[in-house]
Amino acid sequence: MRNLAAMLSARRGRGKPDWTDWLSYAYLLLGLVLMFFPVLWLVLSSFKSAAALNEFPPQLLPYGQKTVEVAGHEAPLPLYRVTLPDGAVRELAEVRRIGIQATLIDPAAPEQEYKVNIRDRKPVREFRLALGNYTEIFNKFSFGTFLWNSVFITVVATLITLLFNAMAAFALSKYRFAGRDTVFLLIISTLMIPPTIILVPNFLVVSQLGLLNSLWGVIWPAVATPTGVFLLRQYMLTIPDELIEAARMDHASEWRIFWRIVMPLSAPALAVLAIFSVMWRWNDFLWPLIVLSRTEKFTLQLALNAFQGELTTEWHYLLAMTVITLVPVTLVFAFLQKHITTGIAASGVK
C-alpha cells in the first residue's frame, strides 16, 4: 500500500500530485463510464424480461417477481407485499385478480383469503436472469441460421484472405519480375477507392456471377484486401532471402517454399491479419445489405437491422441478439487488446 502511494505521488518525479493529475484521473474515469456503461447497460437489459423492460424508470439489475409454492395450488403463485386494511403489511400470494380487486392468501395459512385493491399491493422482486431471451431467439427467429451465416462468411473469408494476400505478398516481396512495382502500386491504390463508387457495378458483377443472395457473394469481393497485402509484404521482406535460396538448392518447388517455409515464418503477421479480417467480415454491413435480400441468408448484422425495424416492441429478444453479436469481438479485445493497440500505434497510420 505504501508502494502504491509512493508510485502515485511519483508524478514526473516532482513530489505530490497536483491538480492536473486529479483532473486527469477524473477525465479518465469519466471516459471509462462513458465507454463501458452503454455496453454494460445493453448486457444487463438483455437479461430482463419483456415486462421489466417496459418499466419506467428502469431498474439497474434484472429482476423478476418472486413466486411461492402453496399447498393446494398447482402452479407457483406470485408473491406480493400487501398493505391490509388494518394497516399491517404482509407478504401474500395472489390467487386471482378480477379487475381492480385481487385475491391473496397467506402461504402458511392458505385457507384465509384476503381481498385487496390492486393499488395496495407491490410485487416482491428478486434478482433473476431472463435466460429465455437467449434461448427463445433460436427457436422463434431461426437466430441459429444468422449466427451460422456470419460465422461461415467470417471464417471462410478470413481463410481465403490469408491465402490470397500471403501469395500476393510473397510474390511482391521475394520475386523480381517486370511490372512488379506497378502491381504493388495498383493494389495499394485501391485503398483510396471509396466503396460507394463501386456499389452499383459490383451488384451487377455479383448478379451476373449468380452470387446474389449467396454467402459467396459477400465473401469473394472482400478477400483481396490491400491492407493485408501491405502488412504481409512488410513482414515478408524481413525473411532472409537465403532461406528461400537454400530451399531452391534443395529442389523445393516455389509452391513448396511458399507453403512450408514462408507461411510458417509469417505466422505473427498472419495472426494480425486474421484478427483484422475477422473483425472486418463480422462487422460488414452495407455490402451484405445489398447482396443478401432473403432473410434466411442474413448475417447477424443484417438480422439485427431488420428486426429493429419490425420488432420495436420485442426489445428483449433484440438485446439478446445484439449481445451475442458483440461477444466474439469482445473476446478478441479482452485477450489481444495489448497487441492490437501497440500494433496500431507502432504503424502510425495504416
Q: What are phi and psi of 65, to 5 degrees?
A: -80, 140
Nearer to another protein, 88 or 177 (CB): 177
Q: 65, 79 in Cβ contact below 8 A?
A: yes
Is 172 among the residues that bind another protein (CB under 8 A)?
A: yes
Is 249 among the residues that bind another protein (CB under 8 A)?
A: no
Residue of the chain from 261, 265, 279, 311 that contacts another protein (CB under 8 A): 279
Could you tell me the smallest distance in angstroms from the CB atom of residue 224 to another protein? 4
Residue with cell 511458399: 258
Residue of the chain from 61, 131, 193, 267 that contacts another protein (CB under 8 A): 193
Is 50 among the residues that bind another protein (CB under 8 A)?
A: no
Stretch that binds another protein, among 53-61, 83-91, 119-127, 265-273 (CB under 8 A): 53-61
Q: Indicate the helix (H) or strand (E) that contains 114.
A: strand 109-117
- Report how far Cα 17 is from the mean position of its chain's Cα atoms: 39
Stretch that binds another protein, among 54-62, 67-75, 82-90, 108-116 (CB under 8 A): 54-62
Could you tell me the smallest distance in angstroms from the CB atom of residue 111 to another protein? 42
Could you please report the per-residue DSSP string of 41-69? HHHHHHTS-HHHHT-SSPPSS-EEE-EE-
Q: What are phi and psi of 235, to 5 degrees?
A: -70, -40
Could you please report the per-residue DSSP string of 80-112? EEEE-TTS-EEEEEEEEEETTEEEEEETTEEEE
The residues in 283-342 that bind another protein, with binding defined as CB under 8 A, are 283, 285-286, 289-290, 301, 304-305, 308-309, 315, 318-319, 322, 325-326, 329-330, 332-333, 337-338, 340-341
Nearer to another protein, 91 or 254 (CB): 254
Residue of the chain from 61, 117, 140, 175 that contacts another protein (CB under 8 A): 175
Nearer to another protein, 99 or 176 (CB): 176
Stretch that binds another protein, among 32-40, 91-99, 102-110, 116-124 (CB under 8 A): 32-40
Stretch that binds another protein, among 64-72, 102-110, 131-139, 185-193 (CB under 8 A): 185-193
Residue with cell 500530485: 17
**Cα–Cα nearest to 244, from 167, 164, 170, 168:** 170
Q: Name the 3-class secondary structure at 56.
A: coil
Helices 315-347/300-310 angle, 10° precision:
140
Could you tell me the smallest distance in angstroms from the CB atom of residue 119 to another protein? 22
End-to-end Cα, the chain, rounded Å: 42
CA dihedral 331, 150, 301, 318 (to 10 degrees): -70
Could you tell me the smallest distance in angstroms from the CB atom of residue 36 to another protein? 7
